[in-house]
Chain A
Amino acid sequence: MPAVVEIRELVRTYRTRRKAEETVALGGVTLTVDDSEVLGLLGPNGAGKTTLVKILSTVLLPTSGTARVLGKDLVSAPQTVRENVGVVFGGERGLYPRISARQNLAFWAALYRLDRRTAQNRCSELLERMGLADRADEPVETFSRGMKQRLHLARGLIHGPRILFLDEPTTGMDPVAARDFRALVRELRQEGRTVFLTTHDMAEAEALCDRVTLIDHGRLVLDEPTRHIGRYLDARECVDFTCDDPAVLAQVPELAFVESVEPRDGGHRALLREPADVARLLVWLIERGVLSARRSEPTLEDVYLRLIGTRAMSV
């Protein structure tokens, strides 16, 4: 598959107002994104994800390094890049809340130089597709969070871009709205669009992305196909269990074949040293009356927590 985004040693630094200190937001990122790929860009707050999206959407200039979108350099040919990329930021911001969804889309269509007839057709088509046709002429401020986000997506698609940047698009959505939104992203991939998704939701990244890239302190710490992500935990096996007996629970980490135990979804997850240890632990737990136990595999969240740790919680 040909690469649609090629990033080489991309650096972005910021200076504070007093120009005394320089902050490195991106410290030499090299990355390639293939055609029709959904790439998940993960990392804690301040890791550099949004900076990377802003550079690739031409909102920011890089300090050094190069980035090419569909073969065009985004510094020397920003207009060509803009024709081919759509940007969708998450949250309430970015729309004109007092006018209708249709009026919002018509405005953005003009900014992307669509002629009037094409704009009208594209607006109606996208409103229908996003499930907003019935409310198309109502003010956006009356919309739910999920509806606003679908309108954001419609706005990002108004000029038919081949590449779409989604920056935390499901933040704050209820589970049903988030599920519907993810279904739309899958459709976009099937249409052959490349999607660049930044998210904090590991389950979302795992469900949607062909590949995940983990970024921390402005540097890539992982770039792997999602299905191979478990390799980063040395292919270790896991056992998820629920145990109400504190004495038994306290013994599990002490077992020779258990590497660590972490709280997980109301229960615990034991990471084992060898695949063969799964049966040993399951037997050990059953003998002590723990009947809710099952084998599982390391998830993206496990990898994330292992590589980033708990710093994601820090400011």
Chain B
Amino acid sequence: MNALRVIAAAFRLQLAITRRSPGHLMILLTSPLFSVIFLSLVVSGQRSGTLVNGVLAPGLIGLWLMSLDLAASIIEEERWAGRMELLVASLTPVSLVVFGRIGVVILAGALTFFESWLVAVVGFGADVPLERPGVFVVAILATCFAMAGTATLLAAVFIKSRALHVFQNALTYPFYILGGVLVPVALLPGWLEPLSRVIFLSWSADLLRGSMSGNLPDAWPAWIAMTIGLGAAALVAGFLLINRIIDQSRETAHVGHS
């Protein structure tokens, strides 16, 4: 219960910060441009079957880029601002604060899906299907949770990385492909599938596509479970890793930069 209250407090904190400093939501400005590119390809190729892909891919890419951006900066910002030591001296694990703050930005970032839909409908006059709206909403929420969990893990990994920006960049296109963001995993070479299926995006992307087009298998709740399960596994790993890094920093005196 305490953990939830702390996550909620971190959530409110980041909401207040984001309202005054919406830098992390810059993707909401650039995501429609991705939508234009993808939808141009889909519409000019007159491939209506891939319209759903053209709408979803910019949203997922936007969310993923936002997660990488947050993961790379959130802990480092706390250290440079002299708040990390105060966080460590409090009664709450730093990892809960990281997850709560990341969560709110990612939820706000889910607006990229709406933007992408708007570009398709208004910009291209496309008739975008949404056959299972209920499943779609659940899939978006599951995707946001898994994204926040994964970003929490990445935040811990990035602290340890000596080549942060190289690492950050390396986590873009391979994940778009393996996560089935650009094309469904089923269209990738078969030997890639086992690798794809350990990435939550591969489940959530299929789920989102299926909920829009109506091609959902009966086992779709299992896809939701896989998305949430992989996100939760990343979250737990992130919590453990951040807590371990903080403990190590207390030994090595690298908690803050002062």
**Which A residues form the contact surface with B (CB < 8 A)?**
12, 14-15, 50-51, 54, 57-61, 79, 82-83, 85, 87, 89, 91, 93-96, 98-100, 103, 106-113, 139, 155, 159
0 or 1 for each of B81-106: is its CB under 8 Å from A? (1 = yes): 11101111111100001000000000
From 51 to 103 in chain B, residues with beta carbon under 8 angstroms from any chain A beta carbon are 81-83, 85-92, 97
Contact A99 B16 (CB under 8 A): yes
Give the distance in Å from the alpha carbon of A87 to the alpha carbon of B85 in the complex: 9
Give the distance in Å from the alpha carbon of A155 to the alpha carbon of B160 in the complex: 30
Contact B91 A96 (CB under 8 A): no
Closest partner residue, chain B, to A81 (CB atom): B89
CB distance from B166 to the nearest CB of A (A): 20
| B216 located at the interface, meaning its Cβ lies under 8 Å from any Cβ of chain A in the complex | no
Closest partner residue, chain A, to B81 (CB atom): A93
> Which 3 residue pairs across A and B have the least CB separation, nearest first?
A93-B82, A110-B9, A111-B90
| B218 located at the interface, meaning its Cβ lies under 8 Å from any Cβ of chain A in the complex | no
Contact B83 A82 (CB under 8 A): no
Contact A111 B82 (CB under 8 A): no
Contact A87 B89 (CB under 8 A): yes
Contact B12 A83 (CB under 8 A): no
Q: How large is the interface on B (under 10, 10 to 19, 20 to 34, 35 or more residues)?
A: 20 to 34
Closest partner residue, chain A, to B93 (CB atom): A111
Judged by DSSP, the binding face of B is: helix
Q: A111-B87, A112-B91 are in contact. List 17 more A-B contacts (CB 8 A).
A: A57-B85, A59-B89, A85-B89, A91-B82, A94-B83, A96-B81, A103-B16, A106-B9, A108-B86, A110-B5, A111-B6, A111-B97, A113-B2, A113-B5, A113-B6, A113-B91, A159-B91
| Residues of B with C-beta under 8 A to A15 | 252
User: Which listed residue, A51, A83, A93, A98, touches B91 by the CB 8 Å rule?
Assistant: A83
User: Which listed residue, B6, B89, B250, B258, touches A93 by the CB 8 Å rule?
Assistant: B258
| B17 located at the interface, meaning its Cβ lies under 8 Å from any Cβ of chain A in the complex | yes
| Residues of B with C-beta under 8 A to A50 | 258
| Residues of A with C-beta under 8 A to B87 | 111
| Residues of B with C-beta under 8 A to A85 | 89
CB distance from A92 to the nearest CB of B (A): 8
| Residues of B with C-beta under 8 A to A60 | 250, 253, 255
| Residues of A with C-beta under 8 A to B16 | 98-100, 103
Closest partner residue, chain B, to A89 (CB atom): B82
| Residues of A with C-beta under 8 A to B252 | 15
0 or 1 for each of B229-257: is its CB under 8 Å from A? (1 = yes): 00000000000000000000011110110
CB contact under 8 A between A98 and B10, given known A59-B89, A110-B5: no
Give the distance in Å from the alpha carbon of A234 to the alpha carbon of B224 in the complex: 79
Give the distance in Å from the alpha carbon of A15 to the alpha carbon of B253 in the complex: 9
| B20 located at the interface, meaning its Cβ lies under 8 Å from any Cβ of chain A in the complex | yes
| Residues of A with C-beta under 8 A to B5 | 110, 113
CB distance from B247 to the nearest CB of A (A): 9
Contact A82 B255 (CB under 8 A): no
Contact A99 B90 (CB under 8 A): no
| B46 located at the interface, meaning its Cβ lies under 8 Å from any Cβ of chain A in the complex | no
Closest partner residue, chain B, to A116 (CB atom): B5
| Residues of B with C-beta under 8 A to A100 | 16
CB distance from B14 to the nearest CB of A (A): 10
Contact B86 A94 (CB under 8 A): yes
Contact B85 A139 (CB under 8 A): no
Give the distance in Å from the alpha carbon of A231 to the alpha carbon of B213 in the complex: 87
CB distance from A135 to the nearest CB of B (A): 16
Contact B85 A96 (CB under 8 A): no
Give the distance in Å from the alpha carbon of A98 to the alpha carbon of B81 in the complex: 12
Contact B89 A57 (CB under 8 A): yes
CB contact under 8 A between A110 and B6, given known A82-B91, A96-B13: yes
| B44 located at the interface, meaning its Cβ lies under 8 Å from any Cβ of chain A in the complex | no
Give the distance in Å from the alpha carbon of A57 to the alpha carbon of B86 in the complex: 9
Give the distance in Å from the alpha carbon of A308 to the alpha carbon of B251 in the complex: 29
| Residues of A with C-beta under 8 A to B97 | 111
| Residues of A with C-beta under 8 A to B85 | 54, 57, 59, 87, 89
| Residues of A with C-beta under 8 A to B82 | 89, 91, 93-94
